[in-house]
Amino acid sequence: MARNKLRDPWPRARWSASGWVQENRRIGGEAVAFLSMRLGTSLLVWLLVGIALALPAGLYLLQVNLTEMTASWEGRPGLSIYFRHGSGDAALALSDALTARAEVALVVVTSSEQALADFRANTSLGDTLTLLDDNPLPASLRATLVPGAGVADLERLAEFARVAPGADEVVVEKTWLERITILSSVVRRLGMILAVLFGVGAVLVTSTSVRLAIEARLEELRVLKLVGATDRQLRRPFLYFGALYGVGGGLVAAMLISFGLLVIESPLENLLGSYDQTLEISGFGGAFLVTLLTTGGLLGIIGALLAVRQRLRHLRIL
Amino acid sequence: MTIEFHQVSKRFDNGIDGLRDVSATFEEGSMTFLTGHSGAGKSTFLKLLLCLERPTRGQVLVNGVNVTQLKPSRLPHYRRNLGAVFQDHHLLAHRSVFDNVAIPLRVVGMRERDLAKRVRAALSAVGLLERDAMSPGALSTGEQQRVGIARAVASRPKILLADEPTGNLDPGLSRSIMGLFEQFNQVGPTVIVASHDVSLIEAMDHRIIELSNGSILRDEEYAGDRASFESGVESA
């Protein structure tokens, strides 16, 4: 026992929960007061961090909504087969063959007579066809794939249809679904790149701001170190600064995204309305907000850690 | 706490010798004045004790432990046993007198209720209890120095160090400040005060170590008629 005492005459203070809470409450209060006193600088930092977070978060929302849209969209990939004149029976035979395949959900056959009737009904050019001796429109068939069927299924089906008797032309449809899926993938990757770039930006902004806060409190740090504050104690107020800058930035990002959604809501409604779709923004809820604030807070803490580590390493007391 | 300097030398990066082969022992509860002209090595002596500098050679033992070799993670816990007073106070202008004195107590995690009692006791001891809510900038130089002393003693350190605490005070205030150090020394801590004011410290009945160019020139115990004797002198 005596030997231990000799080895460690200055033992570490015992950790106590109440002491920890008391210290953190005091330091948190002081950090809030410090940022309030420099409100202009704080607002600028919040705005910068907010913009840095809003862009990738906005792209994330866009990607989530595109995915949602593709899930609810009724249009699915398929193919259209146009037959040579007089091949109406061949169309019916191929229809039976396709209906029997597992990847096909629906087959609709349009005879040349039906095509003519549709043309007359839907266009103003119907009367001009009376000038022709024969019906120029071919019989056709449209096959729609089951949900989840991929491009490979579509290509295989197209190969099958091309060699069918009477088939003249096979058109593989690149539907909106595929385009939106591709677009969604592009947006997701773009979002990831921007998240990394702007995340680094947010870290640098908070790091610089915290560094300025450190410079403003250098004398206090020297005194604290002189009276026996540990590095953890010296770091703590600045981690609060970083976290507050980050969380504030997250809040600003949420406000910017809300504003952006408000601005694009009306034209987006019109666009979707033209496709018989209604606007339902998903993903912008409580969980999104919490994630945004947490991410902001974490980036702020990382920035603060970088600044504190760099500055305190070379701090001379006297 | 007993303090021992064993053949301690300190050479700075610019080639100047702060201390040269200094050896001295300070018994627990003793009070000692370090004196000498500017650049004699008084501040270096105190900085070595505070572990703000590391010696080039030799050992600084506090209660038998060589503090010059303490790991950085152990230094804060060692420093919590020391109180330090400087000529320029190092008070925080944006904090009240109370909060300045409370700093070392908050560092050790003292509960606010106990902390308030301790701060008031320290301020009362230096006669500034009624100024606790004021900013240090609103106090006179002498009062600021007393706040610095209150901060140094509030945590009841085992060792109290002061570097030119009366540097810019008039003789009356200087005597009063030195009286405070004597008063705290009687409570128990080992006190070392560096001062160039020879007439002031020779009027007090405590040990005097005079440094010159980093070496100990004289080491005198007060013996009523201040008869010089050589005890403890191991200077090169």
Contacts of B2 (CB under 8 A, 6+ apart): B25, B26, B27, B28, B61, B62, B63, B64, B190
Does residue A4 carry a pLDDT above 90?
no
Average pLDDT of chain B?
88
How far apart, in Å, are the Cα atoms of B198 and each of B33, B94, B166?
9, 35, 12
Burial B166-202 (b: 16+ CB within 10 A, else e): bbebeeebbebbbebbeebbeeebbbbbbbbbeebbe
Phi-psi region of B25 (alpha: psi -120 to 50; beta: other; left: phi over 0): beta
pLDDT digits (tens, 9 = 90+) for A302-316: 999 999 998 888 787
Interface residue A124 vs chain B (CB under 8 A): no
Q: Scanning the structure block, which residue is given the tokens 């080039």?
A: B56
- State the pLDDT at residue A275: 66
Does residue A6 carry a pLDDT above 70?
no
Please check whether residue A221 is in contact with residue A315, taking contact to mean a CB–CB distance below 8 angstroms. yes
Q: Scanning the structure block, which residue is given the tokens 């850690």?
A: A305
Cα(A49)–Cα(B1) distance, integer angstroms: 52
Cα(B61)–Cα(B106) distance, integer angstroms: 28
Please check whether residue A142 is in contact with residue A79, taking contact to mean a CB–CB distance below 8 angstroms. yes
Interface residue B74 vs chain A (CB under 8 A): yes
Interface test mutation site (partner A, options B88, B91, B106, max chain A beta carbons within 10 A): B106
- State the pLDDT at residue A89: 85
pTM: 0.74
Q: Which of A67-81, A295-309, B19-33 has the lowest mean pLDDT?
A: A67-81
pLDDT digits (tens, 9 = 90+) for A94-109: 999 999 998 898 899 9
Interface residue A19 vs chain B (CB under 8 A): yes
- State the pLDDT at residue A5: 42
B13 DSSP 8-state letter = T
Q: Do B104 and A11 touch (CB under 8 A)?
A: no
Q: Scanning the structure block, which residue is given the tokens 């240090």?
A: B136
Chain B positions in Cβ-Cβ contact with residue A26 (cut-off 8 Å) = 106
Percent of chain A with pLDDT over 90: 40
pLDDT digits (tens, 9 = 90+) for B172-194: 888 888 998 998 999 889 999 99
Of A134, A131, A92, A137, the closest CA to residue A112 belongs to A137
pLDDT digits (tens, 9 = 90+) for A107-143: 999 988 888 888 888 777 767 777 777 888 889 999 9
Sign (positive/negative) of CA torsion B47, B52, B53, B55? Answer: positive
- State the pLDDT at residue A17: 82
pLDDT band at A180 (very low <50, low <70, confident <90, very high): confident
Length reported for chain B: 236
Cα(A224)–Cα(A245) distance, integer angstroms: 24
Average confidence (pLDDT) over A52-62: 90
Question: A78-174 has which CATH code?
Answer: 3.30.70.3040
Q: Which amino acid is at B116?
A: A
Angle (deg, nearest 10), helices A17-37 and A231-273: 60
- State the pLDDT at residue A73: 57
CB < 8 Å from B in window 94-113 of A = none
CB < 8 Å from A in window 39-58 of B = 47, 50, 52
Chain B positions in Cβ-Cβ contact with residue A13 (cut-off 8 Å) = 77, 80, 108-109
Query: CA A27: distance to chain centroid?
Result: 36
Q: Which residues pair with A78 in a beta bridge?
A: A144
Contacts of B31 (CB under 8 A, 6+ apart): B181, B182, B185, B190, B191, B192, B193, B206, B207
Q: Do A6 and B79 touch (CB under 8 A)?
A: no
Q: Comparing B51 with A277, which gets the higher pLDDT?
A: B51
Does residue A200 carry a pLDDT above 80?
yes
Average confidence (pLDDT) over B72-95: 90
Q: Which amino acid is at B122?
A: A
- State the pLDDT at residue B231: 41
**Six token digits for residue A50:** 């907010």
The C-alpha angle A117, A121, A127, rounded to 5 degrees, equals 80
The residues spanned by each domain of chain B are 1-81+160-165+189-229, 83-156
Average confidence (pLDDT) over B29-53: 93
Does residue A76 carry a pLDDT above 70?
no
Does residue A223 carry a pLDDT above 50?
yes
Alpha helix (H) ranges present in chain A?
Answer: 2-7, 17-37, 39-72, 88-99, 112-122, 151-162, 176-216, 218-226, 231-273, 286-312
Centre a 10 Å sphere on the Cβ of residue A193 and count the other Cβ atoms it contains.
Answer: 11
Percent of chain B with pLDDT over 90: 63
pLDDT digits (tens, 9 = 90+) for B195-236: 988 888 888 889 999 999 999 999 988 654 444 434 433 433
Does residue A88 carry a pLDDT above 90?
no
Secondary structure (DSSP) of B165-229: TTTTS-HHHHHHHHHHHHHHHHHS-EEEEE-S-HHHHHTSSSEEEEEETTEEEEEE---SS----
Alpha helix (H) ranges present in B5-159?
Answer: 42-49, 75-79, 97-107, 112-125, 141-154
- State the pLDDT at residue A74: 52
Q: Do A228 and B108 touch (CB under 8 A)?
A: yes
Q: Do A318 and B80 touch (CB under 8 A)?
A: no
Q: Chain B: residue nearest A223 by CA?
A: B90
Q: Which of A155-169, A226-240, A261-275 has the lowest mean pLDDT?
A: A261-275
CB < 8 Å from A in window 117-176 of B = 151, 155
Average confidence (pLDDT) over A139-158: 82
Cα(A165)–Cα(A163) distance, integer angstroms: 6
Q: Do B77 and A220 touch (CB under 8 A)?
A: no
Centre a 10 Å sphere on the Cβ of residue B99 and count the other Cβ atoms it contains.
Answer: 16
Give the DSSP H/E element, type plus range, for residue A86.
none
Contacts of B128 (CB under 8 A, 6+ apart): B97, B139, B143, B146, B147, B150
pLDDT band at A147 (very low <50, low <70, confident <90, very high): confident
Three-class SS of residue A211? helix
The domain made up of B1-81+160-165+189-229 is a member of CATH 1.10.20.60:
no
Cα(B5)–Cα(B25) distance, integer angstroms: 6
Q: Which of A153-157, A180-184, B9-13, B65-69 has the lowest mean pLDDT?
A: A180-184
Of B203, B176, B38, B183, the closest CA to residue B122 belongs to B183
Tally the C-alpha atoms within 13 A of residue A220's C-alpha that lie toward its C-beta.
Answer: 20
Cα(A208)–Cα(A307) distance, integer angstroms: 7
Query: CA A20: distance to chain centroid?
Result: 38
Q: Chain B: residue nearest A23 by CA?
A: B109
Tally the C-alpha atoms within 13 A of residue A7's C-alpha that lie toward its C-beta.
Answer: 4
Does residue A292 carry a pLDDT above 80?
yes
Does residue A166 carry a pLDDT above 50?
yes
pLDDT digits (tens, 9 = 90+) for B97-120: 999 999 999 998 888 889 999 999
Average confidence (pLDDT) over B142-169: 90
Average pLDDT of chain A?
85
The residues spanned by each domain of chain A are 26-72+179-312, 78-174
- State the pLDDT at residue B118: 92
Cα(A79)–Cα(A161) distance, integer angstroms: 9
B67 DSSP 8-state letter = G
- State the pLDDT at residue A276: 65
Q: Which residues pair with B94 in a beta bridge?
A: none
